[in-house]
Amino acid sequence: MKLTLVPVIVAAVCAAGCIHHKKTVYRDVERMKVEFENDTAGRLFYEALSKTPTHRSDRESKTDVSIPIVFSHSTETVTGRNVAFNKAVELCDTNKDGRITEQEARIFSENR
């Protein structure tokens, strides 16, 4: 008789007190300082950046820890858009002087 009560007790405890915790952490970095040679360079850079596909998996990391029925914990880390912007600036500013020329922006745009 005790064996048949065990599943009922476990189900009752789980329904009344299972622990589930989900946490989402948003992580972003400061945007790099950059200047553009002229308006055309800025327009080319931002147009190419807006057309760059952002894969959700590139922006997220997820961790799950669980003990079935009793405990579940999950953490999700999402990176902000400044990370993608900074990577684009690093790719575009080939001479690393903090200034994107029209030629650099045109090359960056054509490679996107």
Task: Please report whether residue 77 resides in a domain.
Answer: yes
Task: Please report whether residue 3 resides in a domain.
Answer: no
For 33-82, write each residue's pLDDT tens digit: 999 999 999 999 999 999 887 655 556 677 777 777 678 888 888 888 89
Model pLDDT, residue 31 = 93
Model pLDDT, residue 56 = 54
Task: Please report whether residue 14 resides in a domain.
Answer: no
| CB atoms closer than 10 angstroms to residue 79 | 16
User: What is the total count of domains within the chain?
Assistant: 1
* Residue ranges making up the domain that contains 34: 19-111
Task: Please report whether residue 96 resides in a domain.
Answer: yes
Task: Please report whether residue 5 resides in a domain.
Answer: no
pLDDT over 60 (residue 14): no
Question: 10 falls in which pLDDT band (50, 70, 90)?
Answer: low
Task: Please report whether residue 11 resides in a domain.
Answer: no
